[in-house]
Amino acid sequence: MVVSKRTPSDADVEAVELVNETAESERKVRASLERNRVLGRGLKVGKSFKVQGADGSAWYEVTHIGPAMANVEWRDYGLDRCMDEMLAAGGEFPRPVVERLVHHHDTLQELFEALA
């Protein structure tokens, strides 16, 4: 009996890489949501929020809060590497805009958890 050793094809390697990337993306999202749970509702440094776009989800983290402005940074939590058109890779934005985005995310997350 002849046993041949099969070498992985490019498709096999790509499938393994996709599974690993998906697992890493899901781990990052879970860690972000757990940090949000610890921080509680509202605008806080370290708070993450998701913005839905036409081609995917863009994740951002609040990095600084001032009296009139708040800074956010894009986070690579998704496989699609989507960025919001307005927020792009992040930067300084009017505080009320960021507060609304965080509130929107908090509300949707609360609803999602209630339905789960």
For residue 90, the enclosing domain spans 11-115
Flag whether 2 is in a domain.
Answer: no
Any domain includes 71: yes
- What pLDDT, on a 0 to 100 scale, did the predictor assign at position 96? 98
Question: How many independent structural domains does the chain possess?
Answer: 1
pLDDT, residue 10, reads 60
Q: Residue 3 domain-assigned?
A: no
Nearest C-alpha neighbor of 78 from the set 57, 51, 101, 55 = 57
What is the C-alpha separation between 110 and 36, in angstroms, rounded? Answer: 11
Contacts with 32 (C-beta within 8 Å, 6 or more apart), sequence order: 48, 59, 61, 75, 77
Q: Could you tell me if residue 100 is inside a domain? A: yes
pLDDT at 81: 81
pTM for this structure? 0.79
Residue 1 lies in a domain: no
**Domain annotation covers residue 50:** yes
Q: What is the pLDDT of residues 22-55, one digit of tens each?
A: 788 888 889 999 999 999 999 999 999 999 877 8
pLDDT digits (tens, 9 = 90+) for 80-112: 788 999 999 999 999 999 999 999 999 999 998
User: Nearest-CA neighbor of 92 among 57, 65, 55, 58?
Assistant: 65
